[in-house]
Chain A
């Protein structure tokens, strides 16, 4: 089942390459594949909503793969990965729809990379063998490299090379750490393995643990991205085609945060514990610094990109505080951020297709021209600043309230950060939607049926999570309980 979920998009990718002569067929076929995958994942989701006593793992798969290294092909699905896989499948469908008109060159190749990236991201969310995880982790970089590099905007090559160099630098250092962990565990126990379950709780010397943890954290921090290593993200977003931005913001950033939660913290509890103040600090810096920069942006895509760094800063804080409430909040916020930021990127992309510009100073008065578009825009902007009743509010309140119990100072400052978010998002809304309508935009048409079909599911998700987050949070409870419980010595922090 899990294998099918991962490899269905990949099969679609190969088929897309085979259909490269017929763009129309290729688009339809890719859409069908992505929809089929979404259907599969959705059915899993509804199956999982029913109470199941089987523990935190809903599905597990395990086969031997490379015997001489004891590498196993093992996948596992729990509530956290289920939600993220669902998000992946949804955004996979949407990114194909978004590119329906925007991508008209080398369509087959584009869908090949898009679908194989989707497969790679799902692999990251499902792998429970570190080797397999690493494989998927790197596998998702290469398609993105091509998507930005071939279909991006003017400065695409610089942006994509910067993106890959940051990612690879992080992941190759992680590779050494991964191999060291494997060797240390093997030498200590006589059993060489990459399995997450076996390696969890393996006692190491302090220095070794700290060094290996730092290498892992660096790789993940680059992906999230955390403050000093975030500079690749605005460039990559600005130059990427809309589908690229959607996948980047909605999924790739999530893999970083997910990996911290699934691998870095449980594997190295002591080092992780030592790094908490540092992580909270960089999270806070990221929150304020990125908001500040976002405020100065004239390019709408860049603004949304910086806002996304700011939001990820809050998620880092939620993870770093590491109690059940904040971690639930962080995971929920990962989903929310995936929905909201993708929607904003899609909207900016739609505007860009019509106006051929993303410069804020050339916008204004869109509301009178495109009321439906503007309504969606306002909804997602409000969601982004955490308006009660919408999805982000729930995640943010969980993180802040959970953090307040143990780190009141950080929580208070982070709350200040929320206010800063308000400022630049409101300015974004004000400068685009309101004001005097521009004459050049007089003939802009409102959303087409396809475009509305992209936004409606996202809007529904925003409202659903905002009003009734119960089922989603229930789904997270089991796995988060078992993951957070691993951090020995920190149970006392639980409220």
Chain B
């Protein structure tokens, strides 16, 4: 059994990096390059530490450091490092590249890692709050943009309500089962307090549902995504959702089959509703960040659908799709960040007219990510969708699969309409005024592009890694 501090190394690096940035800011104010470098190093080292450190459980079984938690820690670190890379130029241009910007990204990443690895409700709550509070500030970090401030306030109010629901739910569950350990409290529900426990579980689900924007708790999503600075939107839509779904998957895996059968019809309804509402509302959007927001809602519907089949398939579909989703949504929002000049983001779909030729790299990335989100081959999203439908049909939810596929057909339309605007309509902006993506941006686009396509062509390594991670989780 390794010592606790070894297991905590990734968390120590993330937290230490953040604190170090604050200290550096006292000595060297306004050195955004320095803060960025520290943050990037901290994230990369934390990611490596998470990938390498020995498995185990620490703090009396409150933090899981097995393969499952480490897999998500690495994923979160990858997402965070891409967010940092996307942020550097973006934040410098807008004058928001202060110490708090980079440090808070680290703290948010720490919160995400904690939620994914918590085996105790209190630790989970700590992670949830850490990521939420960091994100409240990050969303509002464009001080001069009213939309950014409004988005921060909205997310703050909604987020606090959600946290309230969640805490109350945990309290009820604790009352019913007498345990704060996630696995114990979900494994066996005492018959005499079943109602209390189910009520608590419902409140917990509602609280997390807010955070991962599942219909009907999704209303904040488009406004917040639109208002937040684009790299932060990318982080918010990928990192926090991945981490919270990692937790949801953990809950579902440890839940007793009997309890899971109570939850199933509710999940079924939520998944269907989320896919339908997300995809159909996206049709009407004229702004790309709002469109991507609704698309990400719909994507969560697919993951929720896969979550239904964990008792049959063991959840590898969920994990693979989360990884694929993280890459492609990072690419989609990342392109918005890359293409935005100073001032407000390049948001109206109209402004993307003909951009495919003035910015081939960035728009190729956006196009491939959109095709991937639509589930067309040869991309990560395609394989992800196939695996999800395989496990959903295998678990016997054929009608849900059909609802999912019908809503996917609808979604193809709005994904394609963005591509049509980018490549098939004449350029409106005079060529000189178009944004040029710098070398770093082009390299980033290239990396994500490659990742999306490689995951679509050779998914086997990641799939077998996920299988082994889930296997170790069950032990």
Contacts and interface: CB of A to CB of B under 8 A. Distances in A.
A180 B386 CA distance: 11
Contact of B386 (A150, A157, A179, A186): A179
B357 interface: yes
Interface stretch (B72-80, B208-216, B456-464): B456-464
B394 interface: yes
B460 A67 contact: yes
A67 B393 contact: no
Interface in A159-196: 160-161, 164-165, 168-169, 172-173, 175-176, 179-180, 182-183, 186-187
A175 B392 CA distance: 13
B345 interface: no
B394 A175 contact: no
B393 A161 contact: no
A419 interface: no
A179 B377 contact: no
Given A135-B377, A172-B409, A183 B460 contact: no
B402 A176 contact: yes
Interface stretch (A141-149, A299-307, A401-409): A141-149
Given A68-B464, A161-B417, A183-B390, A156 B424 contact: yes
What's the interface size class on B, roughly?
35 or more
A139 interface: yes
A198 to B, nearest CB: 17
A156 B425 CA distance: 10
Contacts of B389: 175-176, 179
B369 to A, nearest CB: 14
Interface string B375-393: 1111000110111011001
Interface residues of A, number: 35
A60 interface: no
Contacts of B324: none
Contacts of B375: 172
A165 to B, nearest CB: 6
Taking chain A's interface residues, is the majority helix, strand, or loop, or is none over half, making it mixed? helix
B386 A175 contact: yes
Nearest to B375: A172
Contact of B459 (A66, A145, A168): A66
Contact of B405 (A145, A175, A182): A175
B423 interface: yes
B244 interface: no
A298 interface: no
A69 B387 CA distance: 8
Contacts of B424: 146, 149-150, 156-157, 160
A306 to B, nearest CB: 26
A164 B459 CA distance: 26
A187 B394 CA distance: 9
Interface of B: 316, 357, 371, 375-378, 382-383, 385-387, 389-390, 393-394, 398, 401-402, 405, 408-409, 412-413, 416-417, 420, 423-425, 459-460, 463-464, 467
Ordered nearest first, which 4 A-B pairs have the shortest CB separation?
A149-B424, A68-B463, A135-B377, A183-B394
21 contacts: A66-B383, A67-B464, A69-B386, A69-B463, A134-B377, A135-B378, A135-B382, A138-B382, A139-B378, A142-B376, A149-B424, A157-B420, A157-B424, A161-B413, A161-B417, A165-B413, A168-B409, A175-B385, A175-B405, A176-B393, A180-B398
Given A160-B424, A173-B405, 6 more contacts: A69-B390, A172-B375, A172-B409, A172-B412, A179-B390, A183-B393
